[in-house]
Every structure is written in structure tokens, then in C-alpha cells.
Amino acid sequence: MPQLTYREAIRVGLEEALAANPETVIMGEDVGAYGGSYAVTKGFLEQYGEERIIDTPISESGFVGAGIGAAIAGMRPIVEIMTINFSLLAMDQIVNLAAKARYMSGGQMTVPLVIRTVSGGGNMLAATHSQSLEAWYARVPGIKVVTPSNPADALGLFRSAMADPNPVMYVEHSLLYGSRAEVPDEPYTVPIGSASVARPGTDVSIIAYLRMTPVALSAADILEAEGISAEVIDLRSLLPLDSGTIIDSVNRTNRAVVVEETWEFGGFAGEVIAQINERAFDSLDAPVLRVAGVNVPTPYSRPLELLTIPTAEAVADKVRSLFQA
Amino acid sequence: MSTQTDLTIPRAELLTLLRSMKLIRRFEERSAEHYARGNIGGFLHLYIGEEAVAVGVISLLREDDRIVTHYRDHGHALARGLDTAACMAELFGKATGVSGGKGGSMHFFDVSRGFMGGHAIVGGQMPLAVGLAFANRYRGQDSLVVCFLGDGAVNEGEFHESMNLASLWQLPVLFLLENNGFGMGTRVERASAQPVIHRLADRHNIRSRRVDNGQDVFDVREATQTAIDYIREGNGPYFLEIMTYRFRGHSMADPLEYRQQHEVEPWLDLDPIRLLTARLHESGLATPDEIDTIDADVEDEVNAAIRFALESPFPSPDELYTDVYA
Ligand SMILES: Cc1ncc(C[n+]2csc(CCOP(=O)(O)OP(=O)(O)O)c2C)c(N)n1
């Protein structure tokens, strides 16, 4: 099995999509001449030409909406929004058009569109450029939201997103691009709506997604040394959510901590906890807890920013608290 | 290009213009060094090459006028007289920074000087400028708002919405477009169906003008003064497009693969600081000694700013929770 970085895995997915369908185009800000602001599409313009690798003006509402329109017309476009922060300017098109066209037309329209974007903090980019907004989109029926945490899932989920007839928000994390791991050689997919057991364990389930998955895995390492066996569940998709895998894990471990990078209040962790309470209450030996981002706009200053994002140590601490009684 | 040095400007003021441009240049060259050393993080967008625009425009403003700008804001801040040390401390993420360390390079603020922020969402600063100008007009004040924006911003909906509102309501706002040829790696001609950007103002019934050589601080000032007079007379908004060039990459992370050195060279010859220095020499308005004194003085100021930034404390952890709400 080859070792690929997260960035390379996404590139493989993009190249497969371009090869598979001549009506697949990539459009977004600086995807061409600049090579993509995270260098994911570097060299594509030279290779595929400007008919298919399209540098758009800085017009998020316009070009995301145009991607939706092209998809409704039957093309299979891939739209890149440079970061999820800028998706706010396109939110109307995503929420009011992409998510509703199928339903509101009584099933006459489909929107086979992949929207790639980048989420997360930790880069000292301050409040407007450090947000994790994927959970907002994961509240909207009609779109799907996937959040790969490693190279193999990045490719497998990308393939599924391209094969899906619905609009899929494919959310990457800026701090994962350089991470490297094995990616299977054979053709495989990761179905949308399937969580994975990233690490098996018996004493507690730590449920995470995107960059919080590696954080949860580090926490599990710390805990192992203390004799606590933590299972790590990587959600991989937020919408649809694979609650089966979560419930199954909690039924075995009887304890759970949910980890989320961004604001705790009203967050995705709350949804996961509600589902556990509804469906696995009887197997719980302790309340389900969460570790999430601090409810403030992200500050620039490094020492302050570091306080806003969950760490492995904080996750381990929260898990320990479940065993003290 | 104006071939003559504007002799109506007092000599002391000419030297101030030169000093202000040099301060911006050295501030940024040194901040790039400290970025490389890891003392500054995040994005750092340098204004190097565009100094004549900020200095030319802002030197004509009154204290009660206000400035709204984008993330490439160091030049505007220093030209407005924000404390150099506090600006450097902001880049270092220190509690003594202009935004308390919470904003960083892209988000300088100093409301006491009418500096209403660097804003990092492209085009997002424009409605703010409209609102500030609305308040001026509502209160019958003749102060105005200058809204800096880049050529890339004109393709956002907020650009057109703001232009229309300002014109419809006849608000005292100067839209100051810094056309440096690129939005990140995308050339203006590849992003705008109307590449002569100031013509977009026609559509909104806003008077506009283009300054072909924004490297010449006198040209910038002449056009800006016309615009300011027009606005203060109560005629509503004005749109100035100033042609300039960013000598460096979009940010420190820019691999700069989208432009060739041979197209950059001619612009480097139009270095605004060298142009002004040469003119002051030629016209005998400044001796080499005087220029050296300015250089030494600027160097001291920037060194002191770096010392201050290094020695200042980081914000205390309590600061995380302050100012989320008033
Ligand atoms: C809404 C939004 N989209 C995209 C970006 C990313 N971005 C930051 S600066 C920039 C280019 C802006 O170019 P321009 O307005 O010409 O200003 P310049 O950088 O040349 O000064 C882009 C695309 C952003 N900050 N906000």
C-alpha cells in the first residue's frame, strides 16, 4: 500500500474524477494559476487546461450558485470554497438552493455537486479565518457533510461524494494536509454515513471527527499508559450520521466522551450526546461528557488561541473524570 | 505622471510624507524577518510597493475622518499615525498591541484615531464604511469615511450593494480602490469582465476617476484632494481607482508562480520611495544628509517597536473571555 499525504489523497480523487467524466470541472478562487491556496490543485491548470480548471473571481455566492446550476444541468462540477469561513457568503445558495432544489421541485431536480472546503483553527488566523462551521451545514436536510480525518478516508469519501447524486460538502482541515498514512491500492470507497472504529478499546468511547480524531487517538495513547482502554470512533460523516456505530461502541464500553474542535454551545457534540442518551442510556455507567472549543471568537495571540482548541491532555482529563467516583 | 514636485506643499510636510513611506517600508521588512523567525504567525500581507497610496490619501484626511480597510492594513495604520510599537506588538500577539493581541496582522484597530479596522473578509469592510458614513450624514457632520479595497473585492456582492447604498443615500464616503493588478494569483483581467474598474462606479451613479501612477505620491494627493472636496461639499460618494503594484507575494505563503520577474521589474523601477527621494534631491528640497537622518530616525523607531513587542507580555488567559460582549 502506498503512503500518501492527506493532500495527495485528495489530489488522487480529483484526478480520478477529472478522468472519469469530461463534464467534471473544478472551479474556485485561485485553484488554477496560484495552484490552490493549500496547493491541492497545484499543476492542474497546466495539465487539464483552463476550460476545466477555472479560476473564479472572488464571488462566492456567484460561483457556488453557478456550480449548483451546472450540476442541475447535469454536469458534475467540483466547487472549491477557499475556506469554510468564506462559505458564509455562499450560504444562501447552499442552504436555500442546493439543499432544497430536489425536494421543492417534487423530485424533478438533482444537484450532483461536490463542494470542497477547508475548516478549522490553529493557524493564528484570528476570528474571521479560524472557524469550523461544518456543523451548521450538518443541520440542513438535503445536503450531506463529510469530514475525513486521514488520507485513506479522504480518498474513499471523495469517491463516494463524486458518485452521490446529492450536494456534498466535503470538508478538509488545514492542519491535516501534511499528514501521511497508507492508502489502499485497490479501488475502494468509504460510504457516506459510515463512522469507523479508529482504535478499538473496551473502557470508554471517545467520539471525534476531522482534526479531533488524531487528538482523540493521542488521548487514547495517554490513557492506555494509565490502564484505561479507550475506543476512538471517527464520525467521518456528520450528515447522515452513523449513529449505529456510536451506539454499538457505547453499548460495549458503557462510557463516552465526545470531542469537537469548535464552540461547545449548540454544537455537534450535543447532537451525538442526545442520540446516546436516547438509544443507549441503559448501558451507561456515567454521564456522557464533551470536550469542545471555547465559546469565544478565536483570538490571534498564540497562547490564547491554544486555549480555545481541545488538546489530547484535555480529552484524557475528561475521560479520567468518568472513572473517579 | 506629474513631472514636477508639488511646491505648494511645505517642505516639512514633504519630508513627513517621505518619512511616513519609509516607516511603512522598514516596519514591513522587519516584520517579514520576524515572521521567518516565528515571532509573528498567521497571514502576513505586505504592502511594500504601495506606500504612496496610503500615505498620499491619508495625509489629506482630518482627524474626525474615518478609515476602513482590508487585511493588507499595516500601511494604512502607520500612515494614520497608529503607534508603531503597538502595531508591531499586535503582530507579535502581545497584550500591548493595537487590538490587544486578539486581531493580528489582518485586524488592526484604533478607534481613537478613526481607524475602524482591517477586515479580512474580502469586501466585508464596505457595508461598514457605508454605515459610518450614514451616521455622519444623519448627524449633519461633514467628516467623511475612506474605504480602502482591493481590485479583487469588486466582484463580491457586497461591493455592488455598498456602492448602490452609498449613492442612493448620497453618503460621504470615498471608495479607494488599490488596483495592484492581482487578487492573490488571479489577474484583474481574468476576474473582472470590466477590467477598467472605476467604470463600475458609473453603474451606480458614483463619480469616479483613475490615477494611472499610484507610485507618485503627488498624483495620488492631487486626485484625492479633488475627491475629498467633492464629498465635503455634500455631493455624495466618490470612487478613486489608484494603479499600483504589490512588490511581494500576496502573503508570506505565496509561491509567486503566477507572475514573471520581467513583468515585475518595471514596477520595481517605480518604487514610490525612490521616486520621491529623487524628486526631493533634484529640486534641492532635501539634502542627502537630511535623508540619512530620516533613515536613521525610522530605523530607531522600528528597532524600538521590535524591542517593545519582544518585551511586552502576552495577553493573560482571562483575556480570552473579555470583550465577547460589551
Ligand atoms: C470572502 C473572501 N473570499 C476569499 C478570501 C481569501 N482572500 C484573501 S485576500 C484575497 C485576494 C484579494 O485581492 P484584492 O482584493 O485585489 O486585494 P490585494 O490582496 O491585492 O490587496 C483572497 C481571495 C477572503 N479573505 N474573503
Tens-digit pLDDT profile for residues A136-188: 999 999 999 999 999 999 999 999 999 999 999 999 999 999 999 999 999 99
Distance CA A270, CA A258 (A): 8
Kindly state the average pLDDT of the residues B175-202. Answer: 96
Task: Please report the pLDDT score of residue B255 as a whole number.
Answer: 87
Amino acid at B151: D
Residue A103: pLDDT band (50, 70, 90) is: very high
Distance CA A123, CA A101 (A): 36
The architecture of the domain spanning A196-322 is: 3-Layer(aba) Sandwich (3.40)
Residue B298 neighbours by CB under 8 Å, 6+ apart? B19, B22, B23, B26
Ligand 1 neighbour B50 (Cβ under 6 A): no
- Answer whether A301 touches B (CB < 8 Å): yes
SS3 B240: strand
Strand stretches in chain A, DSSP E: 3-5, 26-28, 53-55, 78-81, 114-119, 144-146, 168-173, 180-182, 196-199, 204-208, 230-234, 237-239, 256-263, 289-293
Residue B276 neighbours by CB under 8 Å, 6+ apart? B14, B17, B18, B21, B52, B217
DSSP A97: I
Instruction: Provide the residue count of chain B.
Output: 326
Give the gap in angstroms from C-alpha B125 to the nearest C-alpha of chain A. 12
Would you identify the CATH topology of the domain B11-79+114-285? Rossmann fold (3.40.50)
Residue A44: pLDDT band (50, 70, 90) is: very high
Ligand 1 neighbour A136 (Cβ under 6 A): no
Distance CA B34, CA B100 (A): 19
Residues A116/A134, Cβ–Cβ less than 8 Å: no
How many CB atoms neighbour CB B156 within 10 A? Answer: 24
Distance CA B133, CA B65 (A): 10
Amino acid at A131: Q
Residues A60/A90, Cβ–Cβ less than 8 Å: yes
* Mean pLDDT for chain A overall: 98
Whole-Å CA distances, A241 to A161, A292, B199? 15, 19, 50
The DSSP annotation for A130-176 comes to ----HHHHTTSTT-EEE---SHHHHHHHHHHHHH-SS-EEEEEETTT
- Domain A3-182 coded CATH 3.30.360.10: no
**Cβ within 8 Å, pair B106-A57:** no
Count helices and strands in chain A by DSSP H and E runs: 12, 14
Distance CA A35, CA A15 (A): 14
With beta carbons under 8 A apart, name residues in chain B contacting A62.
155, 157
Decide: pTM greater than 0.90. Answer: yes
Ligand 1 neighbour B245 (Cβ under 6 A): no
Lowest average pLDDT, out of A44-48, A201-205, B7-11, goes to B7-11
Distance CA A168, CA A289 (A): 29
Active site residue A60: yes
Amino acid at B72: R
Give the gap in angstroms from C-alpha B156 to the nearest C-alpha of chain A. 5
Q: What are the extents of the domains in chain B?
A: 11-79+114-285
DSSP A92: I
Residues A76/B170, Cβ–Cβ less than 8 Å: no
SS3 A194: coil
With beta carbons under 8 A apart, name residues in chain A contacting B123.
58
Give the gap in angstroms from C-alpha B219 to the nearest C-alpha of chain A. 29
Identify the residue whose cell numbers are 479508529.
A198
Active site residue A8: no
What sign has the CA pseudo-torsion A155, A160, A165, A168?
A: negative
Residue A313 above 70 pLDDT?
yes
Residue A153 neighbours by CB under 8 Å, 6+ apart? A190, A196, A234, A236
From the list A15, A16, A129, A264, the catalytic residue is A129
Lowest average pLDDT, out of A110-114, B11-15, B17-21, goes to B11-15
Residue among B231, B224, B142 nearest B178 (CA)? B224
DSSP B110: B
- Answer whether A125 touches B (CB < 8 Å): yes
In Å, how far from its chain's centre is CA B271? 16
Residues A60/A86, Cβ–Cβ less than 8 Å: yes
- Start-to-end CA distance of chain A, whole Å, equals 45
With beta carbons under 8 A apart, name residues in chain A contacting B254.
34
> A90: left (phi > 0), else alpha (psi -120 to 50), else beta?
alpha
Task: Please report the pLDDT score of residue A21 as a whole number.
Answer: 98
- Answer whether A86 touches B (CB < 8 Å): yes
- Answer whether A57 touches B (CB < 8 Å): yes
Kindly state the average pLDDT of the residues A274-280. Answer: 98
Is the previous residue joined to A240 through a cis bond, with omega within 30 degrees of 0? yes
Residue B5 above 80 pLDDT?
no
From the list A8, A29, A60, A271, the catalytic residue is A60
Whole-Å CA distances, A182 to A5, A6, A186, A194, A315? 9, 10, 12, 20, 26
Residue B4: pLDDT band (50, 70, 90) is: low
> Boundaries of CATH 3.40.50.920 in chain A?
196-322
Residue B1 above 60 pLDDT?
no
Q: Are strands A230-234 and B182-183 parallel, antiparallel or unpaired?
A: unpaired
Phi and psi at B65, nearest 5°, equal -80, 160
Give the residue, by CA position, lying nearest to ligand 1 atom 5.
B122
DSSP A177: T
